[in-house]
Amino acid sequence: LSPHIQVFGHGKANGEPTWALLLTACICEIGILIASLDEVAPILSMFFLMCYMFVNLACAVQTLLRTPNWRPRFRYYHWTLSFLGMSLCLALMFICSWYYALVAMLIAGLIYKYIEYRGAEKEWGDGIRGLSLSAARYALLRLEEGPPHTKNWRPQLLVLVRGDQEQNVVHPQLLSFTSQLKAGKGLTIVASVLEGTFLDNHPQAQRAEESIRRLMEAEKVKGFCQVVISSNLRDGMSHLIQSSGLGGLQHNTVLVGWPRSWRQKEDHQTWRNFIELVRETTAGHLALLVAKNVAMFPGNQERFSEGHIDVWWIVHDGGMLMLLPFLLRQHKVWRKCKMRIFTVAQMDDNSIQMKKDLTTFLYHLRITAEVEVVEMHESDISAYTYEKTLVMEQRSQILKQMHLTKNEREREIQSITDESRGSIRRKNPANTRLRLNVPEEQAADGEEKPEEEVQLIHDKNATTFSSSSQSPGDEVEAAPEKVHLTWTKEKSVAEKNKSKSPVSPEGIKDFFNMKPEWENLNQSNVRRMHTAVKLNEVIVKKSQDAKLVLLNMPGPPRNRKGDENYMEFLEVLTEHLDRVLLVRGGGREVITIYS
């Protein structure tokens, strides 16, 4: 236990502890040299009584914990006998000399903590650890497995990290952000997935787990570590989302990093796994936090002396967007940052009343923040929007048809962009009249909708209304459609229930033609790209210098053919911003005004 007296642990060849006996003789000689039995007797009594007291305590604890190795020979033994003996020893200690009793107990406590600190192996076990295990089991059984009460809700994080070839975490800033967010305490599980089989990759999994533990200790993340070996990353992440946690102590929020290189052809599986992760968290009613540009997030040693945390509250998702900045500002990294909340309105909305209502709501939540209502004009769909949509829709098909190198692919994409800009000068998209056939038929229940449902703006509390139906063969003008962007209940989203407008068969035939024709573009993609572009312009204008930007994350498309377009929409929505946290609520998180 102590390296300073290790020399006394050696004995003769026959096992006689000669040096230990000499040390004991020296201690006894000190007692004799005191030359006063009245002074020595209380000290001896304290140590003997304390020895008997702890023996009785150990017997009582072993009986109460029902440990398998505790098998007393006394037939009529009961734990109350040990408890009675412990109580008598403790009483006699204070009757003899209360100040000697306190000193003896203090010395015993220091010796125990020293042994615990040294981490010595004890063949007699650790009663305190057994008590902790029993208390943890009792508490887990007492926890309700249902959702917690609103007042007790806090983010219980499952952090999904990725390792490199040496099993080191690729982005340690993600754990730094986790530490900064856990001012609300709660559960934290840091998990990773290794590809392969358990028999072949078990040593690598142990190294990865040890690496994550060291990083968690360095970043002061208090939680658990879990590494899963799976045949592919997709199944491994699914297993972690489903099975992490124990009983009522389970995660309710998933934190991941944004796939940076998703546009590269050789890395296409990364963004597919990401979208499936979004779908699974939605199905499991879990909140999702996506950190974009995670390499630029601050470490725990950095300090922001000033700046803002901007919240773009476009969707009323239960108040999670309000809670996250509040938790971040409890940490010393973000403590001096001020909180700003932006909500989006149109020109015909009552912006003054909206600001007043939101300020009142924040006052009841006891959250200090600056409120600003941003008004967005009804404008024509810009040529830049058409260009972005065209490049997005044609890029995948073109690159599939041409097996090119990376440099050649970049040159081809640039040529497409140049052609698009040339066509912009020849045509004015705002004045183009598109002839569309709007069928009255509705898809049967259970069928997959032919068009991806990338809903950039969605108010869960709003009452949806259906658009007026058109008879087959009617000619309609593709004017820019009204996009509701407010956070209020009164606003609803018409995009989800609007009649689908597929292009004619002739248009489908030329859909991926190398020469862009604006009439052949999917108008739903144009509208969504228009919303993403306009929102991004407003966000960059207001929050380009913000230390962190939080905004709602739209849901993935139902039709998997639109997955790549969905990634492009998110990329456009968040471009030109340094640090972005996309937040998608799970539907169960609610921030309450009650204490």
Would the CA dihedral through 420, 421, 423, 429 be positive or negative? positive
What is the Cα–Cα distance from 589 to 323, expressed in whole angstroms? 10
pLDDT band at 208 (very low <50, low <70, confident <90, very high): very high
Beta pairing partners, 230: 195
pLDDT band at 424 (very low <50, low <70, confident <90, very high): very low
Return the amino acid letter for 107: I
Does residue 449 lie within any of the structural domains? no
Residue 513 has pLDDT above 80, yes or no: no
Residue 477 has pLDDT above 50, yes or no: no
Whole-angstrom CA distances from 328 to 76, 146, 265, 369, 548 are 59, 27, 36, 14, 10
Does residue 16 lie within any of the structural domains? no
Domain range for residue 116? 36-135
Does residue 141 lie within any of the structural domains? no
Q: Any idea which of 141-145, 451-455, 553-557 has the lowest mean pLDDT? A: 451-455
Kindly state the tokens that stand for 506.
């002739």
Residue 492 has pLDDT above 70, yes or no: no
pLDDT band at 85 (very low <50, low <70, confident <90, very high): very high
Q: Report which of 20, 21, 1 is spatially closest to residue 9, judged by C-alpha positions.
A: 20
Tens-place pLDDT, residues 281-313: 988 889 999 999 888 999 888 899 889 999 988
* pLDDT score for 407: 59
* pLDDT score for 534: 82
366 and 265: one domain? Answer: yes
Compute the CA torsion angle 171, 395, 276, 558 (nearest 10 deg). 150
Residue in this structure with the two tokens 């658009």, named with its chain if needed: 467
The answer to whether the CB of 259 falls within 8 A of the CB of 291 is no
* pLDDT score for 447: 39
Beta pairing partners, 374: 344
- Could you say which of 103, 135, 167 is where a domain stops? 135
User: DSSP secondary structure string, 162-199?
Assistant: -B-TTS-BS-THHHHHHHHHGGG---EEEEEEEES-HH
Is the pLDDT higher at 196 or at 422? 196
> Which percentage of the chain shows pLDDT scores above 70?
67
Q: In terms of pTM, does the model score above 0.75?
A: no
307 and 366: one domain? Answer: yes
What is the Cα–Cα distance from 364 to 349, expressed in whole angstroms? 24
506 and 554: one domain? Answer: yes
Tens-place pLDDT, residues 240-266: 999 888 877 888 899 999 888 776 666
Return the number of other C-beta atoms located less than 10 Å from residue 183's C-beta.
Answer: 16
120 and 187: one domain? Answer: no
pLDDT band at 593 (very low <50, low <70, confident <90, very high): low
pLDDT band at 90 (very low <50, low <70, confident <90, very high): very high
Does residue 481 lie within any of the structural domains? yes
Residue 59 has pLDDT above 50, yes or no: yes
Mean per-residue pLDDT, 268-275? 80
pLDDT band at 192 (very low <50, low <70, confident <90, very high): very high
The answer to whether the CB of 157 falls within 8 A of the CB of 182 is yes
**Mean per-residue pLDDT over the chain, rounded:** 73
116-141 CB burial, b ≥16 within 10 A, e <16: eeeeeeeeeeebeeeeeeeeeeeeee
560 and 526: one domain? Answer: yes
Does residue 194 lie within any of the structural domains? yes
The answer to whether the CB of 583 falls within 8 A of the CB of 288 is yes
Tens-place pLDDT, residues 169-180: 888 899 999 999
Phi, psi of 291 (to 5 degrees): -90, 115
Phi, psi of 312 (to 5 degrees): -100, 95
- Could you say which of 135, 170, 204 is where a domain stops? 135
240 and 325: one domain? Answer: yes
* pLDDT score for 121: 54
Does residue 61 lie within any of the structural domains? yes
Does residue 29 lie within any of the structural domains? no
Residue 357 has pLDDT above 70, yes or no: yes
Kindly state the tokens that stand for 116.
């615990």
pLDDT band at 228 (very low <50, low <70, confident <90, very high): very high
CB within 8 Å of 293: residues ≥ 6 apart: 258, 577, 578, 579, 580
193 and 87: one domain? Answer: no
The gap between the terminal CA atoms of the chain, to the nearest Å, is: 49
Q: Any idea which of 70-84, 220-234, 560-574 has the lowest mean pLDDT? A: 560-574
* pLDDT score for 557: 79
Tens-place pLDDT, residues 92-132: 999 988 888 998 889 888 888 887 777 655 555 566 677 77
* pLDDT score for 289: 94
Question: What are the start-end ranges of the E strands in 394-518?
Answer: none
Specify the number of domains making up the chain: 3
Is the pLDDT higher at 151 or at 304? 304
Q: Report which of 11, 338, 49, 295 is spatially closest to residue 174, judged by C-alpha positions.
A: 295
What CATH number did the domain enclosing 293 receive? 3.40.50
Mean per-residue pLDDT, 385-397? 54
Tens-place pLDDT, residues 3-49: 667 777 777 777 777 888 888 888 888 878 877 777 788 888 888 99
524 and 509: one domain? Answer: yes
174 and 303: one domain? Answer: yes
121 and 166: one domain? Answer: no
Question: What are the start-end ranges of the E strands in 87-223?
Answer: 157-160, 188-195
- Could you say which of 65, 100, 135 is where a domain stops? 135
275 and 317: one domain? Answer: yes
CA angle, corner 566, sides to 485 and 518, nearest 5? 80
Strand, helix or coil at 74?
coil
Does residue 329 lie within any of the structural domains? yes
User: DSSP secondary structure string, 439-456?
Assistant: ----PPTTSPPSS----S
* pLDDT score for 288: 92
270 and 364: one domain? Answer: yes
Strand, helix or coil at 390?
helix
Tens-place pLDDT, residues 526-552: 667 777 788 888 899 888 889 999 998
